[in-house]
Amino acid sequence: MHRRRRLSLLAATTLAATLGATALGAAPAALAAPGQDPRLTRIIKAMTLEEKAAQLFVLQVYGKSADTADPADVARNRRLYGVDNAAQLIARYKPGGIIYYGADPANVDDPRQLAAFSNGIQRAALAQRVPVPALISIDQEGGIVARVQPPATQSPGAMALAAGRRPADARALAAITARELRALGVNADYAPVADVNVNPANPVIGVRSFGSDPALVSRMVTAQIDGYGAGGVAPTVKHFPGHGDTRTDSHTGVPRIEHTREQWERLDLPPFRAAVERGVDAIMTGHLVVPALDPSGDPATLSRPILTGILRQRLGYRGVIVTDALDMQGVRDTYGDDRIPVLALKAGADMLLKPPADTAGTGLFPTQLRAVVEAVRGGELSERRLDESVYRVLELKRKRGLFRDPFADESKVDRIVGAPAHLAAAQRATDRTTTLVKNDAGLLPLRPGARDVLVAGWGAATTRTLADELARRGAAATVRETGLSPTRQTIDATAAAARDADLVVAVTNRAWDAEPSTLTEPHNGPGQADLVKALVATGKPVVVIAVRDPYDIAHFTEAPTYLATYSYTAEALRSAVKVLFGELAPSGRLPVAIPAAGDSGRTLYPFGHGLGYAR
């Protein structure tokens, strides 16, 4: 018998014991409330208070296998939880979920490794006194946020898909992502982003959003909800009530959204309302202060008027509410870490994502778990309220088939992850997203023939990939990677090299992040814009490709030729080169407006702008 089949039978056997009328010697469970699954209520009845509280936490863990013995991973896990690895973490605390990261912790190596890791987690979860499969989650939005890299299929990010204006592409690629994640044992994706990016200086959302138009964002969000669900993975829209108009990153500060109630209703609400109406599995909170919705000053994650008053009662949402990571500064500024999970549950949240560590690196999950248990025992939080959240979590796991079979089939991983049909679909969709914003000199499409090309700007892999694609078309391509903040010396040396080239391709990544603002993280500085200006001043033909936010052109308006790809995936770069040579007609249209630098009231390029080639 195949090993995976044996595991499934074991899961069914142990779970059947829990779902029996008298689980583990407990008294018969009370009848479920109207509309509730009595099998799930019996599981809750069998749990201790500590086990129910733990079911609400989603934890990170170091290592690339459930039983890792790597000394560095073991040391980090001991600091966080006092255990060596994921299997011991589950045995001791029985958390409801695990979240994978691509780096710090580096959980992802290759597809077979990740599938085996997921199966190890599920074996540990089903070996407990009350066997409950784990929700294994990840941030696989596509574009610039993808924890699982090639050979997995790389989907265009949200803004790129919106530039293509094809909800069918958004749905199809979400389904492909979901099928590949499920093959890896991942059953929940923290995507899609439902934030409406109306602030070009937004430091944390940007191209992760589908754009600045609520109707377009709503269409694309619902398409991706359908796609993820069809692929068997729970989608999670984020970050309620909307992170699209902020100049502060909630990882490092407390964003304050100054929209009036009417503005919020018109701009931020529509995609979330559409997601609720679509029956989305989960909604992630934003660590955002929105005075128009809650004048208390509490971030939405801790706000009962926002989570219960608006999301539950007004919008009628019945699914899981998961917090954004609890180690982010946006939720830690006002209250102690021991209070945050209790306040989040009182506000209406169900799952508590990624508890923080203290300044010494000691994990605070045991403290936060104990705080929830003590809040129930002390009467601050009722056990009935706790049970409501546990039921929603179990219902989500049931909906996604985890009680039936939570395991990945390791023998099929290589046939599913990065399948040729998946890769081809991703490239076709990406080819519809490249946006030609400016072609004033009529340089594009390039005429075929050998030429010396300098590829300069941000990204070692990005510039190299572009150079390789140019070389395939007969060009002699030279690379000068200049980083996010090129110095004057680097700029001068690159401009000197450009004088010997026939053509310059300049790559920018958030060149707009150059002016003083309230952002708390380091800026790129003016170097990228200065580099483009110096290259244009050489008199050589220059093509600028913005590989992240499309707003960069506002900072070097003298550049005559400008494309936006919204991403630096290999697929996006291949698409851009096809456009350069006229092999592909540019068809993407801006999902946002590009305002003038320093004058947001003046629009350089409107929403929907995009040039084509005359036929």
For 15-29, the pLDDT digits (tens) are 544 444 333 333 333
Residue 219 has pLDDT above 90, yes or no: yes
Give the amino acid at 186: V
- In this prediction, residues 545-559 reach a mean pLDDT of 97
Annotate 68-102 with DSSP letters as a single string: ---HHHHHHHHHHHSSSSHHHHHHHH--SEEE--S
For 375-420, the pLDDT digits (tens) are 999 999 999 999 999 999 999 999 999 999 999 999 999 999 999 9
Q: Give the other-Cβ count within 10 Å of 460's Cβ.
A: 10
- In this prediction, residues 611-615 reach a mean pLDDT of 83
- In this prediction, residues 436-453 reach a mean pLDDT of 91
Residue 9 has pLDDT above 60, yes or no: no
In this structure, which long-range contacts are made by residues 315-319, counting pairs with CB atoms below 8 Å and at least 24 apart in sequence?
315/272, 315/273, 315/276, 316/276, 317/276, 317/283, 318/392, 319/279, 319/280, 319/281, 319/282, 319/283, 319/392, 319/396
Residue 8 has pLDDT above 60, yes or no: no
Give the amino acid at 222: T
> Which of residues 519 and 97 earns the better pLDDT score?
97
> Cα separation of 275 and 192, whole Å?
10
For residue 514, the model assigns a pLDDT of 54
> Cα separation of 440 and 442, whole Å?
5
> Which of residues 547 and 26 earns the better pLDDT score?
547
For 295-336, the pLDDT digits (tens) are 999 999 999 999 999 999 999 999 999 999 999 887 887 888
Q: Which of 274-283, 347-356, 445-454, 595-604 has the lowest mean pLDDT?
A: 445-454
Bond prior to 192 in cis (omega within 30° of 0): yes
Residue 13 has pLDDT above 60, yes or no: no
Q: What is the mean pLDDT of the chain?
A: 92
Could you tell me whether strands 234-240 and 188-189 are parallel, antiparallel, or unpaired per DSSP bridges? parallel
For residue 570, the model assigns a pLDDT of 96
The owner of tokens 């050979």 is: 151
Task: Using pLDDT thresholds of 50, 70 and 90, give the confidence band for residue 1.
Answer: very low
> Cα separation of 143 and 154, whole Å?
7
Bond prior to 150 in cis (omega within 30° of 0): no
The owner of tokens 């934030």 is: 195
Q: Which of 242-251, 567-576, 606-615 has the lowest mean pLDDT?
A: 242-251
Residue 114 has pLDDT above 50, yes or no: yes
Question: What do you get for the CA distance between the two ends of the chain, in Å?
Answer: 61
> Cα separation of 92 and 363, whole Å?
15
Task: Using pLDDT thresholds of 50, 70 and 90, give the confidence band for residue 248.
Answer: confident
For residue 30, the model assigns a pLDDT of 41
Residue 56 has pLDDT above 50, yes or no: yes
For 504-517, the pLDDT digits (tens) are 999 999 998 754 33
Annotate 148-187 with DSSP letters as a single string: S-TTS-----HHHHHHHT-HHHHHHHHHHHHHHHHHTT--
Report, as residue numbers or ranges, the catalytic residues: 251, 324
Q: Convert 250-261 to b/e letters by CB count within 10 Å (16 or more is b).
A: bbebbbebebee
For residue 20, the model assigns a pLDDT of 40
- In this prediction, residues 557-567 reach a mean pLDDT of 97
User: Whose CA is closest to 192, among 306, 283, 273?
Assistant: 283
- In this prediction, residues 160-185 reach a mean pLDDT of 98
Handedness of CA 557, 559, 560, 566 (dihedral sign): negative
Residue 4 has pLDDT above 50, yes or no: no
Task: Using pLDDT thresholds of 50, 70 and 90, give the confidence band for residue 615.
Answer: low
- In this prediction, residues 206-217 reach a mean pLDDT of 97
For residue 411, the model assigns a pLDDT of 97
Q: Give the other-Cβ count within 10 Å of 539's Cβ.
A: 9
- In this prediction, residues 99-108 reach a mean pLDDT of 94
- In this prediction, residues 505-533 reach a mean pLDDT of 74
For residue 32, the model assigns a pLDDT of 57
- In this prediction, residues 165-191 reach a mean pLDDT of 98
> Which of residues 589 and 7 earns the better pLDDT score?
589
Name residues whose C-beta falls within 8 Å of residue 351's C-beta, 6 or more positions apart in sequence.
56, 57, 58, 96, 97, 135, 282, 320, 321, 322, 323, 389, 393
Question: What separation in angstroms does the CA of 363 have from each of 132, 338, 369?
Answer: 24, 12, 11
Superfamily per CATH, domain 434-605: Glycoside hydrolase family 3 C-terminal domain (3.40.50.1700)
* Start and end residues for every CATH 3.20.20.300 domain found in the chain: 3-23+34-61+73-88+110-140+168-416
> Cα separation of 179 and 187, whole Å?
10
> Cα separation of 220 and 480, whole Å?
37
Task: Using pLDDT thresholds of 50, 70 and 90, give the confidence band for residue 34.
Answer: low
Superfamily per CATH, domain 3-23+34-61+73-88+110-140+168-416: Glycoside hydrolase, family 3, N-terminal domain (3.20.20.300)
For residue 12, the model assigns a pLDDT of 46
Could you tell me whether strands 561-564 and 435-439 are parallel, antiparallel, or unpaired per DSSP bridges? antiparallel
For residue 447, the model assigns a pLDDT of 86
Give the amino acid at 195: D
Question: How many residues appear in the chain?
Answer: 615
Residue 267 has pLDDT above 60, yes or no: yes
* Start and end residues for every CATH 3.40.50.1700 domain found in the chain: 434-605
Task: Using pLDDT thresholds of 50, 70 and 90, give the confidence band for residue 270.
Answer: very high
